[in-house]
Amino acid sequence: MSALEQAQKVGRDYVRPENPVRPRDAASLVILRQRKGGTEVLLGRRASRHRFMPNVFVFPGGRVDVADRDVDVAAELAKPVAKKLQNKFTPVMSRARAVAAVRETFEETGLVIGERQKKGGVRPDLARLDYVARAITPPDSPMRFHARFFCIDAEHTTGRVRDSHELQLLQWFPLAEALAMPLVDVTEFVLQEIQRRQEGWRPPGVPLFSYRNGRAVIRYEG
């Protein structure tokens, strides 16, 4: 049974915590590339020192910083993408989450989406990003995140992939191979969403992956 299937089973002994930790804003970026054998996705293993999900393969990403709200960008989000984000969030915060996804990707993988700055960092180009999902960590987790998942094709990135202190063993996995790996439930869910889209499925909205009474719940937001 996969992690996602296990998460969707009702926990008989589940007791909702009295004071669940408030989720922190986070953003991740799913980077895809096309090869003769099919689509590949970039995944890296989180360092063992991490308190949250150590030693598991994930997409690059991390917390949204306050400074992400004021970053100068090379190009804004495409209007349809901005509209999907702003269905739930203000324009400033929607943009900040996209900026965070690009920033964290550069810090963790070395890939640049936008313009490399002489003083370090990246001036983000948000125009090619798509917004594909969001997820909220279970209420009983000691560390919780409200993550937005963006997606981009590797042809819109520059630089060379390199390991970092955040992500190690970075490599490109065929999509089917990645789905066969022992992944955490939310990573598996996002990859399944990507695979279904590539097979021609059109989602009714942006999926939200969350938990209710100890069971994973998926709903689509228009």
Terminal CA-to-CA distance of the chain, rounded, Å?
30
pLDDT of residue 15: 54
Kindly state which CATH superfamily the domain 3-221 is placed in.
Answer: Nucleoside Triphosphate Pyrophosphohydrolase (3.90.79.10)
| 29-87 pLDDT, tens digit each | 999 999 998 999 999 998 767 666 667 899 999 999 999 999 999 999 999 999 999 87
Residue tagged 């798509």 (tokens): 130
pLDDT of residue 12: 45
Check: CB of residue 46 under 8 Å from CB of residue 28: no
- Threshold 0.75, pTM exceeds: yes
Q: Which residues of the chain have pLDDT under 50?
A: 12
pLDDT of residue 17: 63
Spatial distance between the Cα atoms of 191 and 41, rounded to a whole number of angstroms: 9
Complete DSSP assignment for 20-72: PPPPEEEEEEEEEEEETTEEEEEEEEEPTT-SSSTT-EE-SEEEPPGGGGG--
Closest CA to 53 of 87, 76, 26, 84: 26
